[in-house]
């Protein structure tokens, strides 16, 4: 679906992503496929860095979390036990005229009330301006129908709440005409497939809609390895698939995406609220550690009445995207529901025996679940900056820059010989590249004026540029390193500041900053 016109920032980010090779529409040469995305050379590195940071901090740096990679297609009974076969649905609405499909909870409508009387209805798709859009549409409606009187403020409601008699009166967001929207009906979002040669009921399987069930299904297998004691967590990174009715907002909601989930098992007698708070804070701190500004993050507590019956509490970490404040990371306290369900459906006891107290119980779980793609988008949105930088002649020029945290930046350092046609400069620059390449992603660039090369790296989010110039051989003319050879210029992306470093000290200097 097209982005709202006023979302200029989003358009700029999408365009930069395509131009610089972060993100492409999947199968673009065939016209694309809605809800699927490809990550280009820079995007693939950025994604890998996000995953690596998470795995490192969540699994490798902790004694109480172990990793898992479970299969994408699991026994179909897993999804019966988890409730996904019966209940993993979104309310879907069709527009009979435009043939477009909507999620009922993303269509908002309101009666148009003039002098206390309902004279019609208006609708709008969910955005950060839904109420304003409805109000504008109500004003236009009144004007076009030449209705006299005082227009009341709109009262936005979700289409899921529309009464049967209201449904034919609400205009379709696609056509603006009333009468073409169907009543909402439940649509299961799991992708279905067949395993093996037979195409009958017995061969039906699903692409996983979340990675979490792998951790529950393998709980006993992990426990039997003897490495873990309650409280402990099982973490996994992997692809998930949801046949979203309306994939939108670039990579925010897609049909194939990657999740990083962790199930943290605690005693049934432990204080779940303490652990819930602990993981909310951990997730928030982690997001800040990879460069998201604290000011763009907030918490949303799901109201008790909207929680699943087994859920004790869910808090979402929200991020202020250009299209509104949206869920980035959900941290749910799920009680013992999942393990109990799998024990019931599989007939395998999924309990924990506490050696100290000689007590057997079904552990409770806290689940922080996040999408890699949503983090990546949040990073790009907060890193995007436009400013002015002087060119070689001192003239101010506009530049697009990604202020990526060095931990996640796809290219850590660019190595640039000042001139392409001087073999000594080129040879030394390649030596420096080879020295650094073993430890980090390095980009070598000898094409074009040095200022232009800096600008290209600013756009890619590269935090440091290293330039090999004549002083590398002749020795510094002035400053603290006067006379010293084998030095390079290091340029900082954000403020264009330059400093001189010896090639020998370069690697530790960079490692300290990118880790
Ligand atoms: P939403 O309400 O936005 O559909 P959800 O509450 O269904 O999300 P969960 O089932 O809790 O999401 O999934 C955990 C995390 O996985 C989300 O917080 C989000 O980061 C990510 N995620 C979920 N669905 C998608 C999707 N379609 N595309 C990209 N990321 C997703």
Beta bridge partners of 415: 444, 466
What pLDDT was estimated at residue 480? Answer: 74
The reply to whether ligand 1 has any atom less than 6 angstroms from the CB of 329 is yes
The reply to whether ligand 1 has any atom less than 6 angstroms from the CB of 209 is no
Cα angle: 68, vertex 71, 76; to 5 degrees: 125
Is the confidence at residue 168, as pLDDT, over 50? yes
Confirm if 190 and 79 have CB atoms less than 8 A apart.
yes
Q: How far is the CA of 257 from the centre of ligand 1 (A)?
A: 9
Confirm if 315 and 276 have CB atoms less than 8 A apart.
yes
Highest mean pLDDT among 124-128, 238-242, 474-478: 238-242
Q: Give me the mean pLDDT over the 55-62 stretch.
A: 98
The alpha carbon dihedral of 174, 176, 180, 184 has a sign of positive
| Ligand 1 nearest-atom number relative to CA 259 | 16
Q: By alpha-carbon position, which residue is closest to atom 17 of ligand 1?
A: 370
Q: By alpha-carbon position, which residue is closest to atom 6 of ligand 1?
A: 330
Q: By alpha-carbon position, which residue is closest to atom 3 of ligand 1?
A: 327
Which candidate, 365, 369, 367, places its Cα nearest to that of 265? 365
Rounded to whole angstroms, the Cα distance separating 483 from 494 reads 29
What pLDDT was estimated at residue 460? Answer: 97
Instruction: Extract the tokens encoding 479.
Output: 């400053």
Rounded to whole angstroms, the Cα distance separating 118 from 109 reads 13
Rounded to whole angstroms, the Cα distance separating 252 from 267 reads 35
Is the confidence at residue 503, as pLDDT, over 80? yes
Which candidate, 373, 381, 402, places its Cα nearest to that of 292? 381
Q: What tens digit of pLDDT does each residue of 120-159 get?
A: 999 999 988 899 999 999 999 999 999 999 999 999 999 9
Helix (H, G, I), strand (E, B) or coil at 273: helix
% pLDDT > 90, the chain: 90
The reply to whether ligand 1 has any atom less than 6 angstroms from the CB of 254 is yes
Mean per-residue pLDDT of the chain: 94
| Ligand 1 nearest-atom number relative to CA 375 | 20
Beta bridge partners of 335: 365
Rounded to whole angstroms, the Cα distance separating 240 from 425 reads 48
Which candidate, 489, 458, 488, 460, places its Cα nearest to that of 391? 458
Beta strands 464-468 and 413-417 are parallel
Which candidate, 264, 211, 242, 210, places its Cα nearest to that of 68? 211
Instruction: Extract the tokens encoding 306.
Output: 């909207």
**pLDDT confidence tier of residue 20, bands split at 50, 70 and 90:** very high
Confirm if 118 and 111 have CB atoms less than 8 A apart.
yes
Instruction: Extract the tokens encoding 9.
Output: 């920032």
The reply to whether ligand 1 has any atom less than 6 angstroms from the CB of 103 is no
Rounded to whole angstroms, the Cα distance separating 257 from 509 reads 36
DSSP conformation class of 181: B
Confirm if 315 and 302 have CB atoms less than 8 A apart.
yes
Rounded to whole angstroms, the Cα distance separating 167 from 102 reads 14
Helix (H, G, I), strand (E, B) or coil at 208: coil
Q: Give me the mean pLDDT over the 36-41 stretch.
A: 98
Rounded-to-5 percentages of helix, strand, coil across the chain: 35, 30, 35
Instruction: Extract the tokens encoding 502.
Output: 């010896």
Rounded to whole angstroms, the Cα distance separating 13 from 96 reads 34
Main-chain phi, psi angles of 5, to 5 degrees? -60, -40
Helix (H, G, I), strand (E, B) or coil at 451: helix
Q: Give me the mean pLDDT over the 158-169 stretch.
A: 96
% pLDDT > 70, the chain: 99
Rounded to whole angstroms, the Cα distance separating 460 from 42 reads 8
What pLDDT was estimated at residue 108? Answer: 97
Exposure string of 7-21, with b = 16+ CB inside 10 Å and e = fewer, is: beebeebbebbeebb
Rounded to whole angstroms, the Cα distance separating 193 from 196 reads 10
The alpha carbon dihedral of 54, 56, 61, 64 has a sign of positive
Q: How far is the CA of 294 from the centre of ligand 1 (A)?
A: 21
Residue 320's alpha-carbon distances to 13, 15, 99, 219, in angstroms, are: 15, 20, 32, 35
**pLDDT confidence tier of residue 476, bands split at 50, 70 and 90:** low
Beta strands 464-468 and 89-94 are unpaired
Rounded to whole angstroms, the Cα distance separating 307 from 311 reads 6
Q: By alpha-carbon position, which residue is closest to atom 22 of ligand 1?
A: 371
Helices marked H in 268-336: 272-289
Rounded to whole angstroms, the Cα distance separating 45 from 407 reads 11
Q: What is the CA radius of gyration of the chain?
A: 28
| Most ligand 1 atoms within 8 A of CB, residue of 37, 259, 308 to mutate | 259
Q: By alpha-carbon position, which residue is closest to atom 10 of ligand 1?
A: 210
What pLDDT was estimated at residue 395? Answer: 86
**pLDDT confidence tier of residue 370, bands split at 50, 70 and 90:** very high
Place of tokens 């800096």: 454
Q: How far is the CA of 371 from the centre of ligand 1 (A)?
A: 7
What pLDDT was estimated at residue 1? Answer: 35
The reply to whether ligand 1 has any atom less than 6 angstroms from the CB of 369 is yes
Q: How far is the CA of 370 from the centre of ligand 1 (A)?
A: 7
Within 10 angstroms of residue 380's Cβ, the number of other Cβ atoms is 22
Rounded to whole angstroms, the Cα distance separating 329 from 316 reads 6
Helix (H, G, I), strand (E, B) or coil at 400: strand
Which candidate, 54, 466, 459, 511, places its Cα nearest to that of 238? 54
| Ligand 1 nearest-atom number relative to CA 369 | 14
């Amino acid at each position: 679906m097209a982005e709202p016109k006023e979302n200029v920032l989003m358009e700029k980010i999408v365009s930069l992503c395509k131009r610089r090779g972060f993100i492409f529409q999947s199968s673009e040469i065939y016209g694309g496929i809605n809800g699927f995305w490809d990550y280009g050379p820079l995007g693939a590195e950025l994604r890998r860095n996000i995953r690596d940071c998470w795995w490192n901090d969540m699994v490798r740096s902790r004694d109480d979390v172990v990793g898992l990679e479970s299969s994408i297609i699991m026994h179909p009974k897993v999804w019966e036990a988890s409730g996904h076969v019966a209940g993993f649905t979104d309310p879907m609405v069709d527009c009979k005229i435009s043939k477009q499909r909507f999620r009922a909870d993303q269509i908002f409508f309101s009666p148009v009330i003039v002098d206390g009387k309902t004279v019609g209805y208006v609708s709008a798709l969910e955005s950060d301006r839904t109420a304003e859009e409805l109000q504008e549409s109500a004003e236009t409606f009144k004007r076009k129908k030449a209705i006299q009187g005082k227009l009341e403020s709109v009262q936005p409601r979700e289409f899921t709440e529309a009464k049967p008699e209201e449904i034919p009166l609400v205009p379709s967001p696609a056509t603006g005409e009333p009468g073409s929207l169907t009543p909402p009906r439940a649509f299961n979002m799991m992708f279905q497939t067949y395993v093996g040669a037979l195409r009958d009921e017995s061969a039906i399987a699903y692409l996983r809609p979340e990675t979490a069930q792998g951790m529950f299904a393998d709980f006993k297998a992990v426990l039997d390895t003897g490495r873990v004691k309650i409280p402990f967590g099982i973490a996994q990174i992997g692809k998930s698939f949801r046949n979203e009715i309306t994939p939108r907002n670039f990579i925010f909601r897609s049909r194939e995406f990657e999740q990083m989930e962790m199930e943290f098992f605690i005693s049934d007698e432990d204080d779940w609220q303490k652990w819930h708070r602990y993981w909310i804070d951990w997730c928030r701190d982690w997001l800040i550690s990879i460069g998201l500004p604290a000011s763009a993050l907030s918490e949303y507590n799901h109201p008790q009445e909207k929680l699943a019956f087994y859920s004790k509490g869910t808090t979402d970490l929200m991020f202020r995207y250009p299209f509104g404040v949206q869920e980035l990371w959900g941290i749910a306290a799920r009680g013992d529901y999942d393990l109990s369900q799998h024990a019931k459906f599989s007939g395998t006891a999924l309990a924990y025996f506490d050696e100290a107290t000689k007590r057997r119980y079904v552990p409770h779980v806290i689940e922080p679940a996040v999408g890699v793609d949503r983090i990546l988008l949040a990073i790009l949105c907060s890193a995007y900056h436009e400013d002015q930088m002087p060119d070689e002649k001192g003239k101010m020029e506009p530049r697009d820059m990604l202020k990526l945290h060095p931990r996640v930046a796809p290219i850590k350092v660019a190595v640039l010989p000042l001139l392409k046609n001087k073999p000594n400069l080129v040879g030394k620059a390649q030596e420096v590249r080879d020295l650094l390449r073993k430890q980090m992603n390095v980009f070598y660039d000898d094409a074009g004026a040095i200022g232009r090369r800096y600008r290209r790296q600013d756009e890619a989010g590269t935090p440091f540029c290293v330039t090999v110039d004549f002083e590398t051989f002749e020795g510094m003319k002035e400053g603290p390193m006067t006379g010293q050879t084998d030095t390079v210029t290091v340029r900082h992306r954000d403020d264009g500041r330059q400093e001189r470093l010896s090639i020998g000290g370069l690697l530790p200097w960079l490692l300290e900053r990118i880790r």
